[in-house]
Amino acid sequence: MATLKDVAKLAKVHPSTVSRVLRDIDSLSITTKTRERILNAVEELKYRPDQMARALKMGKSFSIGLIIPDISNPFFAELVKIIENECTKAGFILLVSISNEDQEKEIQHVNNLLGRGIDGLILAPVQNSYNHILELKSKNFPFLLIDRYFETFETNAIISDNEESAFKAVQYLVKLGHNRIGFISGRPEIYTIRKRLEGFKKALKEFNLEDNKEFMWGAGHTFQDGYEATQNLLALNKPPTALLISGNLITLGAYKALLEKGLHIPNDISIIAFSDNVISQYLSTPLTTISHPLEEMGKRAFQLLFQNINTEVRNSYTKITVCTNFIIRESTGKRTS
Question: What is the contact surface with DNA in residues (CB under 7 A)?
Answer: 1, 3-5, 12-17, 19-20, 22-23, 28-31, 33-35, 47-50, 53-54, 56-59
The contact set with a copy of itself (CB under 8 A) reads 48-53, 55-56, 61, 63, 70-72, 74, 77-78, 80-81, 84-85, 88, 93-98, 100, 105, 108-109, 111-117, 223, 249, 252, 255-256, 259, 278-279, 281-285
Nearer to DNA, 12 or 334 (CB): 12
* Residue 78 interface partner, choices DNA, a copy of itself, none, CB cut-off 5-8 Å depending on type: a copy of itself
- Minimum CB–partner distance for residue 18 and a copy of itself (Å): 15
* Residue 93 interface partner, choices a copy of itself, DNA, none, CB cut-off 5-8 Å depending on type: a copy of itself
d(C-alpha 171, C-alpha 176), whole Å: 9
Phi first, then psi, for residue 320 (nearest 5°) are -105, 125
- Minimum CB–partner distance for residue 135 and a copy of itself (Å): 8
What b-and-e string marks burial along 48-70, b requiring 16 or more CB atoms within 10 Å of the CB? ebeeeeebeeeeebbbbbbbbbb
Q: Of 22, 160, 150, 146, which Cα lies nearest the Cα of 86?
A: 146
Nearer to DNA, 46 or 213 (CB): 46
* Residue 256 interface partner, choices DNA, a copy of itself, none, CB cut-off 5-8 Å depending on type: a copy of itself
Nearer to DNA, 35 or 168 (CB): 35
d(C-alpha 271, C-alpha 280), whole Å: 12
d(C-alpha 78, C-alpha 83), whole Å: 9
For 50, 183, 327, the CA distances from 150, given in Å and listed in that order, are 39, 22, 28
